[in-house]
Every structure is written in C-alpha cells, then in structure tokens.
Chains A and B, each alone.
Chain A
Amino acid sequence: MEINKNTKETLHRSLLLFYDALKFGDLKSLSHLMTRESYMITLQSLGFKRAFREADFQTLLKNIENDAQSLKSVETMLCADLLNNSREHQLEITSFEPKGTNRITLGYAQDGYSKKMYFSKFNEEWKIDYKAGRKK
C-alpha cells in the first residue's frame, strides 16, 4: 500500500491532536481520535495511579466498558488529573510504515525516544488503534 501525502498529513495531525487532547484533558476529542477499544485502554492506563490509591475509582475503572455512568465518572476525574499534570512534549515524525490493508504505523520521536502510533482505517477515517500493530 502506498501512503499518499494527504494520508501522511492526516495521521500527523491526528498525532498532534492526540497529544494536545492529553495535555488539555480533552477526553472527548481523544475518544474521537481513537477506536473505542483503544480509548478504553488509554483510560485504564491513565487511571492506574488513581486506581492504586482509591478503591472506589478502581471499581469504576473496571466497569467503564459496560457502564456509561462509570465511564463518565472516570472521564471527569481523569480530565482533572490530566490538567493538573499537563506535559509538553517535543514530537518529530520519523516514518510511515504500511501494515497491509488499511493499517499504517506512524514512527515518531517523543522527547528523543522512539515511539509508534498504530492507525486503522474505518469507514474512510483513520483512527488510532493500539491493536493494529501487526501486518494484516
């Protein structure tokens, strides 16, 4: 699969929006950039520290996939946490690697460290998809 200029720009923009959403605690935007499953994984990762300290939050976090109220509560609390720990990163795109049909791995450096973001195409729209790391 050849990756055209428009697609590269779209993925680059998604990456920047992803980091902005984390910086500003904008979980609504974050959820639109990702597959639902990847969004859930992100919330679980972001919420680990709070879940460690608060048993009630741990229960809520466990239920986010099946309970809208738990999801909303978790989002509200994590949004505040993100704003309190707002971080700025230096990002540099290093590669675009096609992974078969409708999958691309975006390579980039975050503060000098090598990172990857996996994308899948759903209904003509590219979404961040943590489970799209292998060639399909």
Chain B
Amino acid sequence: MRSIITNAQRRSFMKIVGVGAVVAASSAFAARGKKTTSSVTVELSEEQKDTLFFIFQEEKVARDVYITLGKIYTEESTFANIQISEQEHILFAQVLCERYGIDTTGVNLSLDDNYIGQFELLSMQELYNQCIELGQVSLLEALKVGRLIEITDIDDLEKAAEGMPLDVVNTYSNLKEGSLNHLDAFEKAIARES
C-alpha cells in the first residue's frame, strides 16, 4: 500500500498533518511533558526532551541554508521548493516540543532577512557558515551541499528516534521521508547540472 503513494501525495499529507497537529498540540495533549490518551500516559525523560528541543533548533539550519542559496541561484527552483518543506519540518518539530511541555518561545524562527543565517548556538552558526561558503562556489557545489545536508539530517533523525515513544518516532519518520524526497530532488538537480 505504502509503495504506491506518490511523493506529491506524501507531501500533501505531511502538510495536512502539520497544520492539524498544531491544533492537536494545544487541545488534545496535556502539558508539562506528558502526552495522555484514553489508555496510556507517555512521559519523556529529561534527556529525550533535550533531544527534541535540539532537533527543533537544528531544523532552522537547513531552512536558512536553502533560503540563502536560493537567493544566490535564483534560476534553480530546487532550493525554493525545499525551503517551504523545511519550514514545515520546523513546524513538526515545534509541535512535538509543545506536546511534551517544552517551551519553544525563546527560539527566533523569523523569516526576516536580519535573522536568516543567524544562530545563537555556535555549532549551528558554524555549520551554516560552512554550507554557504561551499555553496557560493557554483550551483553544482550548492546542490551538493544540499545533498550532504539531507544525508546528515537522515542520520541525525534515525539516531534521535532511538528509544522515543511512538508519536515521536512517527514524526521523525515523516521528517525522514521528507529528507529522502529532498535528497532525491538534489540528486536529480545534480545530474541535470553535471
């Protein structure tokens, strides 16, 4: 059944789930680190909550890299298409945080030009700077940067999902599916440009 779902359908589904999840996060789930359903209560460890918050913060790196590279290579639509999806990834990760009572209000996700490419954590700033430095060389190099970002994201999400409850695993699995689609898009663009 899963194999016949097209990428376009999957993206559409993710978008619907992403928007719906914001409502679910504020109404159906109890705050302060617990998710309750009629039959089970799931509580994350402090370490798991830290991971959720870190992944949420990290999602901004890919989005901002694609926004900046998209401004440099305006004739290449791959960056513009994927940055929209990356914004959805941020939303997914934010919903998860809020569902488990993790405050995300201190993280500036503004799309204002003054904030794109600005990161409070040095590791993320370093990553962004290196991506832009490499991507500025040529369009082909920029597309290859995108490919490596997606490969790294997929690895990170697989690690982050280990030991997490089912709803977190499902969300990370959706994010991973998104990253696989992005990877596919970058591979096609690289083949076209090579």
Contacts and interface: CB of A to CB of B under 8 A. Distances in A.
B123 A45 contact: yes
B123 A42 contact: yes
Interface residues of B, number: 29
Contact of A52 (B47, B49, B51, B134): B134
Interface residues of A, number: 25
A46 B122 CA distance: 10
Given A49-B133, A52-B134, A62-B155, A133 B123 contact: no
Interface of B is mostly: helix
Interface of A is mostly: mixed
Given A42-B123, A45-B124, A116-B120, A131 B134 contact: no
Contact of A117 (B103, B122, B130, B148): B122
Contact of A133 (B47, B57, B130): B57
B148 A52 contact: yes
Contact of A134 (B49, B125, B148): B49
B120 to A, nearest CB: 4
B123 A41 contact: yes
B102 interface: yes
A52 B144 contact: yes
B145 interface: yes
A113 B118 contact: yes
A104 to B, nearest CB: 14
A131 B121 contact: no
A110 B118 CA distance: 11
B127 interface: yes
A115 B50 contact: no
B113 interface: no
Nearest to A118: B121
Interface string B104-136: 001000000000001011111111001101100
